[in-house]
Structure 1
Amino acid sequence: MKRHRYQWVIGGLVLLVAFMVGLAVYQTQRRPKSLTTVNDDLIRVHYRQWQREYLSGQQQKFVLTRGAEHPQALSESQGYGMLITVLAAKHGMPTRQTFDQLVAYYLAHRVSPTNPLMAWRQKQVGQRMHSTPAEMTSATDGDLDIAYALILADDQWGSIGSVDYKGLAQQLIRAIKQYEINPVTQLPRVGNWATTPATQHLVRPSDLMTAYFRRFARYMQDGEWTQVALNSQTVLQKLSQQRSSGLMPDFTQVSGDHLTIRPVHARQVASPYDNQYGFNACRVPWRVAYDYQLSRSPVSRDVTAKMLAFFARQSRITAVYTLTGRPVETYPNQAFSAPVAYAAQVMGHQRLVTRYAPSLKRVGASNAYYPATLQMLLLLQSGELAHD
């Protein structure tokens, strides 16, 4: 049947309108409305308060993990501080000098002049921060965050100023690969010290930062990091499938080419929560959702969705769970709820967003380093979602 020209025009307009409506619905589902309230002004208020309470030092700055009367710093906290500071710059805050001061502290507390991994802990002795010989070993999670923050700084400011972010990042990534990646499993060890028969197979699931490994592969033009990313995804998938809750332990053991998983027991590594969803594993929803945000990996999607389904069934989120989903503690903690709130935003899980995202925006919601710092970091990453 022959159609008149105006009929083709009208038909085209109908299709265009349908496409625009569909796109609007998609964007609404992809980005929950509550994200639009994470604006630069709110982030500035949070950042200034976090900076006042937790940043210490003059020419070399570090993140306080204890009160000022007994200053203590960790490579973990240094990584968080560097991530927070460079992400704050993306929201219009003049933070480059502060970032460089954090870099200066990292450089002053490396394991050795020839090993750029950061010593895992420092305490104040006299007027300076000092690591004992036992503390002059690394913690892989801190090194990974420091390396990624240096890459983000290179993206943000370039590496032609007084600090060569790219050179430092590449140097650190090479050291992570040499000292902190298990050559058999191609998975991150818990630190450079984990090389004995009793420790070499230990894996901290929250260290399986697939998004970082993908970026390292591109940044270093090194395909071996792609294998680290793939193996990390395999282990996350296996751990997710072990329990209906989808929860993972603070530590597990992974060995062999086939990535065989064996459990650990309480106090085997660091705490009574070693074999539970504790203060390390609480970061897993954030780490895996971040990979899904950047890569749209179906593995990261499914692992995140299963954990969110568990938390959606809970009346509230408390600190520490058994892997079957039984609450171990009765008190709430932002270190557990903030990663869920962020993951819910990434996945568009509106029920959890409505319930927990407001706590990310509440100034003064936490009064301890770990939950307050995770809240600050995840508020910034939520802000990135709002600007996507």
Structure 2
Amino acid sequence: MVFMFRRHKYQWLISGLIILVSFAIGIAIYSTQSETRRTGISSQTIQSQYQLWKKFYLRGDKTQKFVKTNNGTKDQTLSEAQGYGMLITVMAAQQGFDNQRVFNQLTNYYLNHRISSQDSLMAWRQKQQGNKMVSTKAEKTSATDGDLDIAYALILADKHWGSKGKINYHILAMRLLDDIYSQEINVKTGLPKLGDWTKGRNNNVVRTSDLISVYFREFASYTKDGKWTKTMQNSQYTLQKLSNQNRTGLMPDFIMISGNDLNLKAVKANQVASKYDAQYAFNACRIPWRVAYDYQMNHSRISKNVVAKIDRFFETQKKITAIYTLNGRPVENYENEAFCAPVVYSAEVLGNQVLKKRYKKVLINPIVDKDYYPTTIQMLTLLAIGNMNNKTR
């Protein structure tokens, strides 16, 4: 009888384990199905895309890694790319797709390519010379967009892993934010400059996609310093004012600011980077992503209105092509993920069913190699959607 009792007890335990395992599997399936219903994109899809992105674009060794930006045999990278890479890996880690080691490798590369040991801003470009990545003297200046992304990624890392490991993310973030504010924020306007190198009239030029309100809110909270709140408020004001300047809501890559009331106008062609400086081109195309991310994280009414207007314009277009005049005339005929992905992401955040239905496959098109900029923006927006899934789960 004792033997029979033990047998029944173990049978009961096994049956209980089977029920628990089945229940857990059911929850996992329901969770995945819920994600897919919300955005049409599962975590498995995002993870698969991330693995492809890593394979195609991460270079380096066991100590440090960088994001390859060119298609030549000799590697090249940018501080912009390093910021993207650090953002991508920490967001992937938040979703369980990667670990701290990869983020630290990217952080080590940033640390080894700062302008100097006393200046935390990153040199804007490095090229391969032999087995080393090297910046020329002219390249040892900064690009604000890259530094902003690196700082935000360090804060996310500190929040996710803490700063008691091999790298103290908190100290690095605080030092970088001090240098960003002292060298890359215009004292008069409180807005981001193009970098630490600006002089004369270019000192009052703003890259519109650097008006990243969500970052400035986070910087203010993280540092407990109200000066970042002023930058956030002025960024919101500038975005709203630019949005109101035309029926499309489109903004130029670069604007000139003058006067105490922040008078805004597009720069002239070729004033900063290219003949498209005064158009909605390869810098401004990031605005729907940057602004929608602020709405996703903070439910800013201004951010919602700004990006909703841009989305309404794209509803009227048969397809999203690369580069537009501010009144909405397509300049090029080809499509590009750098323009499509931010709009599709913003449609997901704001629930624009027209754009979601029309472009439902844009973000899950297989990650391709040898096309760094559009593909990396696709990866960033896809991971932002993954975080949206996690937040609402």
TM-score by length of 2: 0.89
Query: Does the CA contact (< 8 Å) of 1:185 and 1:256 recur in 2?
Result: no
Structure 1 counterpart of 2:173, which letter? A
Q: CA deviation at 1:33?
A: 6.4
Structure 2 CA distance, aligned partners of 1:376 and 1:325?
Answer: 26
Q: In the alignment, what sits opposite 2:109?
A: 105
Q: Do the aligned partners of residues 197 and 161 (structure 1) sit closer, same or farther apart at CA in structure 2, a change above 3 Å counting?
A: same
Q: In the alignment, what sits opposite 1:351?
A: 354
Structure 2 CA distance, aligned partners of 1:192 and 1:347?
Answer: 35
Query: Does the CA contact (< 8 Å) of 1:265 and 1:274 recur in 2?
Result: yes
Task: Establish whether residue 219 from structure 1 lines up as the match of residue 217 from structure 2.
Answer: no
Equivalent runs, 1:100-139 vs 2, <5 Å: 100-139=104-143
3-state secondary structure, aligned to 1:199: helix
Q: In the alignment, what sits opposite 1:234?
A: 237
- Give the one of 164, 174, 179 matched to 2:178: 174
Q: CA deviation at 1:365?
A: 5.4
Equivalent runs, 1:30-179 vs 2, <5 Å: 35-58=38-61, 59-67=63-71, 69-179=73-183
Q: CA deviation at 1:357?
A: 3.4
Q: In the alignment, what sits opposite 2:285?
A: 282
Query: Does the CA contact (< 8 Å) of 1:35 and 1:385 recur in 2?
Result: no
Q: Do the aligned partners of residues 37 and 365 (structure 1) sit closer, same or farther apart at CA in structure 2, a change above 3 Å counting?
A: farther
Q: In the alignment, what sits opposite 2:193?
A: 189
3-state secondary structure, aligned to 1:123: strand
Structure 2 counterpart of 1:91, which letter? Q
Q: Do the aligned partners of residues 88 and 379 (structure 1) sit closer, same or farther apart at CA in structure 2, a change above 3 Å counting?
A: same
Query: Does the CA contact (< 8 Å) of 1:88 and 1:380 recur in 2?
Result: yes
Query: Does the CA contact (< 8 Å) of 1:38 and 1:386 recur in 2?
Result: no
Equivalent runs, 1:194-343 vs 2, <5 Å: 194=198, 196-343=199-346
Cα deviations by residue, 1:141-173 (Å, 9 ceiling, x for unpaired): 000000000000011111110010111011101
Structure 2 counterpart of 1:239, which letter? L
Q: CA deviation at 1:126?
A: 1.6
Q: CA deviation at 1:263?
A: 2.3
Q: CA deviation at 1:40?
A: 2.3
Structure 2 CA distance, aligned partners of 1:86 and 1:204?
Answer: 25
Query: Does the CA contact (< 8 Å) of 1:32 and 1:350 recur in 2?
Result: no
Q: Count residues with an aligned counterpart.
A: 357
Deviates more, 1:113-122 or 1:359-368: 359-368
Query: Percent identity among equivalent residues?
Result: 53
Q: CA deviation at 1:260?
A: 1.3
Cα deviations by residue, 1:343-364 (Å, 9 ceiling, x for unpaired): 0111010111112232101223
Cα deviations by residue, 1:190-222 (Å, 9 ceiling, x for unpaired): 10101x212100000100000000000000000
Which consecutive unaligned segments of at least 5 residues does structure 1 have?
1-30
Q: Do the aligned partners of residues 369 and 35 (structure 1) sit closer, same or farther apart at CA in structure 2, a change above 3 Å counting?
A: farther
Q: CA deviation at 1:127?
A: 1.3
Structure 1 counterpart of 2:358, which letter? R
Q: In the alignment, what sits opposite 2:363?
A: 360
Structure 2 counterpart of 1:211, which letter? V
Structure 2 CA distance, aligned partners of 1:55 and 1:145?
Answer: 17
Structure 2 CA distance, aligned partners of 1:257 and 1:84?
Answer: 38
3-state secondary structure, aligned to 1:252: strand
Deviates more, 1:41-50 or 1:115-124: 41-50
3-state secondary structure, aligned to 1:254: strand
Structure 1 counterpart of 2:279, which letter? Q
Structure 1 CA distance, aligned partners of 2:154 and 2:238?
Answer: 27
Query: Does the CA contact (< 8 Å) of 1:32 and 1:345 recur in 2?
Result: no
Q: Do the aligned partners of residues 360 and 34 (structure 1) sit closer, same or farther apart at CA in structure 2, a change above 3 Å counting?
A: farther
Cα deviations by residue, 1:113-132 (Å, 9 ceiling, x for unpaired): 10000000000112100111
Cα deviations by residue, 1:271-291 (Å, 9 ceiling, x for unpaired): 111000000000000111111
Structure 1 CA distance, aligned partners of 2:369 and 2:295?
Answer: 27
Q: In the alignment, what sits opposite 1:25?
A: none
Structure 1 CA distance, aligned partners of 2:240 and 2:123?
Answer: 31
